[in-house]
Amino acid sequence: MPKIDILYDALYPGLSPEEKIAKIASHEFQFVETWMGGDAGALKSVGKACEKHGIKLVSIVMNFATDEAVAPIRPECLENFIERLDQYSDNALAAGCSTGIVTTGQSVGGKCYQDQRKALIKALRAGGEKVASKGFSLNLEPLNTEVDHPGYFLDNPQEAVSIVKEVGLDNVKILFDVYHMEIMRGNQTTFITSNIDYIGHFHAAGVPGRHELFNGETNYPFILDQIEKSGYGGYFGLEYMPILPSDESLEKTRKYLMG
């Protein structure tokens, strides 16, 4: 079974980091991830709470899709992008986390697709080399452009794999988000099992709506079974926006996925 981790940010609004982590631990989850990356102090607080409650922080976000100043598809942003990865990887490592999610940014109007793709490969290679010396890894995320991220540069997982292959670094892989790719293409398990060596992390949520996994069209227990049979031993992140109260949501989700 892949290691199930919980998006810390979406649950228990209003509680402190330690209170959130304690609640998540009470539902027998051992791993969390966060959208945070830039606030070193807040991230360290999460890391300390994780250590206290026997949980591991496994992933942060290095840049958001609309953060144009560090978009790796923009050649003029290369230096800013590398500086961002350097800073955020330090923040993450100080909190006990060694993996970060990279987004491409929004497509630049009037610019050639291939030029943006070349800039992305160059940035990922330079960034990957920069953080590799620290033992840090990057996961490039394709997103859906139909519902949540219109105009985003990378919405095809096969293209994401091709880009990662061209980057050619062991610490740069893709994040395969089942929610986003169900919207874009379907045929999930065939892609996953054929490309498992290039997948460094998974995300999941219910389709449609991005809510609890058990309320949607996607058969997540089947997908998890196929991932396990592929030999993947990494993390499967639950990046959903709960409709139910957090305790009820986590308990029903745990039973749905883990029995």
For the chain, what's the residue count?
Answer: 259
Rounded distance, CA 220 to CA 226, Å?
A: 10
Phi, psi of 109 (to 5 degrees): -60, 135
Rounded distance, CA 247 to CA 254, Å?
A: 11
Instruction: Please report the sign of the dihedral spanned by the C-alpha atoms of residue 203, residue 2, residue 134, residue 60.
Output: positive
Question: Which token pair is 227?
Answer: 């991932």
Among candidate residues 212, 217, 239, 248, the one labeled active-site is 239
Instruction: Please say if 182 is a catalytic residue.
Output: no
Instruction: Please say if 239 is a catalytic residue.
Output: yes
Among candidate residues 19, 76, 141, 212, the one labeled active-site is 141
Alpha helix ranges (H) inside the chain: 17-26, 40-52, 78-94, 113-132, 157-167, 178-184, 188-194, 220-229, 246-258
**Omega cis (within 30) before 208:** yes
Catalytic residues: 141, 239
